[in-house]
A and B are shown apart, each in its own frame.
Chain A
Amino acid sequence: MSATIETIATVEALEGKYEAGFITDIESDMAPKGLSEDIIRFISEKKGEPQWMLDSRLKAYRHWLTMPEPTWAKVDFPPIDYQDAYYYAAPKNVKKLQSLDEVDPKLLETYKKLGIPLREQEILAGVAVDAVFDSVSVVTTFREKLHEAGVIFCSISEAIQLYPDLIKKYMGSVVPYTDNKHACLNAACFTDGTFVYIPEGVRCPMELSTYFRINEAKTGQFERTVIVAEKGSYVSYLEGCTAPKRDENQLHAAVVELVAMDDAEIKYSTVQNWYPGDENGVGGIYNFVTKRGICKGKRSKISWTQVETGSAITWKYPSCVLLGDDSVGEFYSVALTNNYQQADTGTKMIHIGKNTRSRIISKGISAGKSDNTYRGLVRIAAKAEGARNYTQCDSLLIGDKCGAHTVPYIENRNPTAMLEHEATTSKISDDALFYCRQRGIPEEEALTLIVNGFCREVLQHLPMEFAVEAQKLVAISLEGSVG
């Protein structure tokens, strides 16, 4: 069965309902509503953190109070009441588990609905999953196999306990707490996340993947991910997100930090399909994420691939700081907005080292009454001899009530640098639609076909399983945008 037909079958099966729109009822251990130094102490204590971690959280919190809300993005939302949210919620079941059988069956049910074949994964997919249910890691598989290779793949809370030196060295080294208000909030009250460390010369034996879930009503989720690839190592990391249906906006402010040493390569892929709000723009997730990677070593490479279809508001700029000579940064993105969704996303490529190269491919699709903005920066520092950048951002408009915007910043301070930037905006070609319709393909299917073709260049950079999921997502997200 071809992917397209499968996609259509999926769409039909869903009958226009959000697939992941359900709430699992599991008792939670919650901190009171609101944010204060006491709440931060509570979080830190719950996690049994050392004093230095608490100090760093409090420092971030105090700085957060003084920081202004970023307002430059082209998104519109009422001011966030930070005191009206919970900052800590953990599933009751936190004792160490020996096997999957010990996991709360309700949790397993949740994963099943999401289509994560956790049991089968061990045998079939060869993917180790560090599944985050709300805020605490519950299940971690394949730990031993990774351990053999010397790879550290654990939750950030564990890492704080087990590898304090690595955490002290790398956490906050790429995204300091002073970076922006959302990242600062994360530094103050992150509850969990993932830590990955690939030692020198190791090629990670499998693709690492974490599925995030936001489950407890009104819980902001503040994930912290740190990935360090030592000299000559390689890792591919997948991040997928779904969230249950809910009426009130939820804040998500994650921070992802990547560090690549000499000859190391990190591939980071995201499929994000959090609840986007209903057809009238009620509800949905606020996705304010700071993602940044630093190519510290020579010939290192960081590649970001993202498919953004969910969230009421997306504010996300996965970036690369190309510090090492001959390092490479890549950014492939599909951002799809429908109904009243707003997306302001893009990347920053900061060229500092000599002969650094970067490539940006961004595809924006707006439908319904949504607004979709590409915002990017390419900066060539004075010493970045022979730097090279290629940028292509294409926008597709479906319907006459949406908006597509492109805001690239191009700053060049080195004459030997070569910069190219191209952007186009257009609608779906009537000819292409007519061609499909003439061959008996219904309008909505034809649309999906064309849009998937438009995104192909990006989707093909995703790992296989993700590419299929991403195609389905594109179809689901486009529902109701024609006719």
Chain B
Amino acid sequence: MSKATIKVVETFMPPSSPRVEALPWLLRGGAHAMPDGAPNWARALRQTAAESFAANGLPQPGQEGWQFTSLRHLEPQHYTQPDAVLTGNVPAPLLADSYRVVIVDGVWQSHLSLLPTGLKIAPILQATDIVPHAEEYLLGLGDMAVNPFKALNAAHLRDGFVLALDRGQTLDKPLEVLLWTRDGVAAYPRILYWLGENAEATVLERCAGEGRYFINAQTDIVLQQSARFTYHRLCEEAEKASHISQTTIHCMKDAHFDAYNGAFAGALMRQGYEFKLLEKGVYSSLTGIYLKDGQQIQDFTVLAGHYDESGVSAQHFKGVVDDQARAVFQGKIHVHRPAQKTDGYQSHHALLLSDKAEANAKPELEIYADDVKCSHGATAGQLDVNALFYLRARGIPEHEARALLIRSFMADGIDKIIHPDIRNLFFDRLDAWLANRGKAAA
């Protein structure tokens, strides 16, 4: 990465951003150009998305919503979109007893899937075959100008999968989805989970890969009345990887949604969640856990939109930032006028371990209904010196004492995970990180 390149990136450019032209790989080989027999809705989407992205470019430095997150890491790379053919191996599943879906470089590998018979699953371009009006959700990306990465993903819409559970259907085992990305690749997977009335499922999505790559994932989750969905995302991207993802959750009456997002490693990680509590009585929660060091950037941007009465949205974030890493939390609870009796909560607690670490938070409330309870809390600070002293006084070496305190700080978040095997996976990542830190200290 030459210094000159960085300089160019940081100068302010007008909206007709030449930065896009400076990054030809972003649109080169875009799916919109490919005659692959995609349905009309997909073609149209690619077209409008590509136009939107070309017009707006990447978010400018300092642009609201992106002011804390530098995209510098993306700049000098020339990523490609390889063919769908898989060569080489992918890692073994983490859960012993689970169903399995594998996506490599953004492309669904149906031959590696392990699924119960009769489960409705299809490539994303054939979503309308198994989910009526699926295109409604796939097209409804909102304002793509605000988040150009949505546009970028849509412009490259090619593969991914749609999973649909019928009314009352329950997945008896967790589904483990592996999103594996290889060196030098730009992957644009698109995923849709559609749960019918009273359907129930538990999913573990694991994002990983090798080398230096860029994954830009768009996930939509649709929960019909009283559906229950427990969603875990374990992001353990390669050290030099960039991960930018958007997840939109559409919740109907009395739906219940729990999400647990672990973010480990990865050079640049921006994870966007948008909750749409469209009908009455929806419960939604999101727990975010992150461990960052080196020069990593972690960005959680969450919007909880309450559109109807008696919805609950709770967001808890806990993270540790070391070295020169930077953590960003931008959360917003938006209570629309009809959404009376809303209960909204946000919290972000960051632990800073080094002089150069940075934590930025912007917990925002936008409220138009009067009978609501909304609150947020944010803290940032270092390890409690008194607690550290207590442990040291009892003969525990400093790095061990620190590890103990960090573990207990993080355990508070990880303990919320109900599925025991998945909870252990998160703890394993935490312990490995702490052990690594201890080694470096010694």
Is A125 in the interface zone, CB < 8 Å from B? no
For B355, give its contact among A395, A403, A415 (CB under 8 Å): A415
Minimum CB–CB distance for A82 against chain B, Å: 25
Closest to A388 in B: B381
- The residue of chain A having its C-beta at the shortest distance from the C-beta of B344 within the complex is A425
**Cross-chain contact of B363 among A400, A411, A421 (Cβ < 8 A):** A421
Majority-rule SS of B interface residues: strand
Interface size class of B (residues with CB under 8 A): 35 or more
CA distance A421 to B377 in the complex (A): 5
> Given that A414-B355, A427-B371, A427-B372 are contacting pairs, would A404 and B380 also be in contact in the complex, using a CB cutoff of 8 Å?
no
Task: Name the residue on A nearest B350 (C-beta).
Answer: A412
Neighbour of B358 across the interface among A401, A412, A420, A425, CB < 8 A: A412
User: In this assembly, does A97 line the interface, its C-beta being within 8 Å of a C-beta of chain B?
Assistant: no
Contact A426 B352 (CB under 8 A): no
A70 to B378, CA, bound (A): 28
A205 close to B (CB within 8 Å): no
Nearest B-chain residue to A374, judged by Cβ? B365
Q: Which residues of B contact A424 (CB under 8 A)?
A: 373-375
Q: Which residue of A lies closest to B375 (CB)?
A: A424
Q: How far is the CB of B140 from chain A (nearest CB, A)?
A: 25
Q: Does B20 contact A (CB under 8 A)?
A: no
* A34-91 CB contacts (< 8 Å) to partner B: 72
Interface string of A391-407 (1 = CB under 8 A from B): 00001011111111111
From A382, A401, A409, residue with most partner B Cβ within 10 Å: A409
Q: Are A421 and B381 in contact (CB under 8 A)?
A: no
Contact B365 A411 (CB under 8 A): no
Kindly list chain A residues whose C-beta atoms are within 8 Å of the C-beta of B354: 415
Q: Which residues of the other chain, B, contact A413 by a CB distance below 8 angstroms?
A: 356-358
Distance (whole angstroms) from the CB of A75 to the closest CB of chain B: 14
Q: Is A3 an interface residue (CB 8 A)?
A: no
Q: Does B366 contact A (CB under 8 A)?
A: yes
Q: Are B362 and A408 in contact (CB under 8 A)?
A: yes
Tell me if B367 and A419 are in contact (CB < 8 A).
Answer: no
Chain A residues closer than 8 Å to B357, beta-carbon distance? 413, 415
Chain B residues whose CB sits within 8 angstroms of the CB of A420 once the complex forms: 377-379
Give min CB distance, B374 to chain A, whole Å: 4
Report if A400-B370 is in contact (Cβ < 8 Å); known contacts: A410-B362, A425-B375: yes
A412 and B372 within 8 A (CB): no
Instruction: Give Cα distance in the complex from A413 to B361, angstroms.
Output: 12
Q: Is B208 an interface residue (CB 8 A)?
A: no
- Which residues of B lie under 8 Å from residue A415 when comparing CB positions? 352-355, 357, 381-382
- Beta-carbon contact of A403 and B368 below 8 Å: yes
- Does chain A have a CB within 8 A of B64? yes
A226 within 8 A of B: no
With A398-B370, A399-B370 as contacts: A419 and B364 at CB distance below 8 Å: no
- A422 engages B370 (CB within 8 Å): no
Find chain A residues with CB under 8 A from B367 CB.
395, 397, 403-405, 425
B364 touches which of A401, A408, A411, A422 (Cβ 8 Å): A408
Shortest distance in angstroms between A390's beta carbon and chain B's nearest beta carbon? 10
| A417 at interface, CB cutoff 8 A | yes
For window 227-241 of chain B, which residues contact chain A by CB distance below 8 Å? none
Q: Which chain A residues lie closer than 8 Å to B373 at the CB level?
A: 424-426
Closest to B381 in A: A418
Q: Is A416 an interface residue (CB 8 A)?
A: yes
Which among A403, A412, A423 is the interface contact of B380 at CB below 8 angstroms?
Answer: A412
Nearest-neighbour CB distance to chain B for A364, whole angstroms, equals 10
**Are A411 and B337 in contact, with the CB atoms below 8 A?**
no
CA of A339 to CA of B353, assembled, Å: 48
Nearest CB to that of B365 among chain A residues?
A: A406
Residue in A closest to B351 when the chains form the complex, CB atoms: A415
Structural contact, A411 and B382, CB atoms closer than 8 A: no
Cβ distance A193 to chain B, nearest Cβ, rounded Å: 33
In the complex, A397→B366 CA distance in Å? Answer: 12
Provide the bound-state CA to CA distance between A427 and B374, in Å: 10
Nearest-neighbour CB distance to chain B for A63, whole angstroms, equals 18
Interface centre among B359, B371, B373 (most CB of A within 10 A): B359
B372 near A425: Cβ-Cβ < 8 Å = yes
Give bound CA distance, A382 to B358, whole Å.
9
Determine which residue in A400, A412, A427 has the highest number of CB atoms from chain B within 10 A of its CB, and name it.
A412
Residues from chain A with a CB closer than 8 A to the CB of B141 are none
Chain B residues lying within 8 Å of A416, measured Cβ to Cβ, are 381-382
Expressed in whole angstroms, the minimum distance between the Cβ of A180 and any Cβ of chain B is 15
Provide the residues of chain B in CB contact with A395, threshold 8 Å.
365, 367
Q: State in angstroms the CA–CA spacing of A407 and B372 once bound together.
A: 18
List B contacts of A402 (CB < 8 A): 368, 370
Question: Using Cβ atoms and an 8 Å threshold, which residues of chain A touch B355?
Answer: 382, 414-415
Report whether A423 and B376 are in contact in the complex, using a CB–CB cutoff of 8 Å: yes
Given A395-B367, A417-B380, A423-B376, residue A407 in contact with residue B362 (CB < 8 A): yes
Complex CA–CA separation, A399 to B355 (angstroms): 47
Cβ of B350 and Cβ of A423 under 8 Å apart? Answer: no
Contact partner, A72, options B64, B340, B371, B375, Cβ 8 Å: B64
Q: Which of A397, A409, A423 is close to B370, meaning CB atoms less than 8 Å apart? A: A397
**B110 interface residue (CB < 8 Å to A):** no
CB distance from A1 to the nearest CB of B (A): 32
Residue numbers in A under 8 Å from B366 (CB-CB): 403, 405
- In angstroms, Cα B372 to Cα A344, docked, is 21
Residues of chain A within 8 A of B358, CB atoms compared: 411-413
**Residue of B353, B361, B364, B370 contacting most chain A CB atoms (<10 Å):** B370
CB pair A408–B380 under 8 Å, yes or no, is: no
- Report chain B residues within 8 Å CB of A401: 337
In the complex the two chains form, is A410's CB within 8 Å of B364's CB? no
Cα–Cα distance between A411 and B329 once the two chains are bound (Å): 10
B337: contacting residue among A382, A400, A409, A421, CB under 8 A: A400
Report the minimum CB–CB distance from A436 to chain B (whole Å). 18
* Contacts A404-B365, A409-B362, A411-B358 given; does A419 touch B370 at CB 8 Å: no
- Cβ B380 vs Cβ A405 within 8 A: no
B380 touches A410 (CB 8 A): yes
Q: Once the chains bind, are B379 and A419 in contact (CB under 8 Å)?
A: yes
| Contact, CB under 8 Å: A425 / B365 | yes
Q: Give the contacting residue for B369; candidates A400, A407, A422; CB below 8 A.
A: A400
B80: A residues at CB distance < 8 A = none
Chain B hits for A421, CB < 8 A:
361, 363, 376-379
With known contacts A412-B380, A415-B355, A407–B64 Cβ distance under 8 A: no
A416 to B380, CA, bound (A): 9
* Nearest CB of chain A from residue B268's CB, rounded to whole Å: 19
A417 CB to closest chain B CB, in angstroms? 7
Which residues does chain B contribute within 8 Å of A397, judged by CB atoms?
A: 367, 369-370, 372
Mark contacts of B371-395 with chain A using CB atoms, 8 A cut-off: 1 yes-contact digit, 0 otherwise.
1111111111110000000000000
A-B residue pairs in contact (CB < 8 Å), sample of 9 = A402-B368, A404-B367, A409-B362, A410-B361, A410-B380, A413-B356, A424-B374, A425-B374, A425-B375
Q: 19 new A-B pairs (CB below 8 Å) besides A400-B370, A405-B365? A: A72-B64, A382-B355, A382-B356, A398-B370, A400-B369, A402-B368, A405-B367, A407-B362, A408-B361, A408-B364, A409-B360, A410-B360, A411-B359, A411-B361, A419-B380, A423-B363, A423-B365, A423-B375, A427-B371
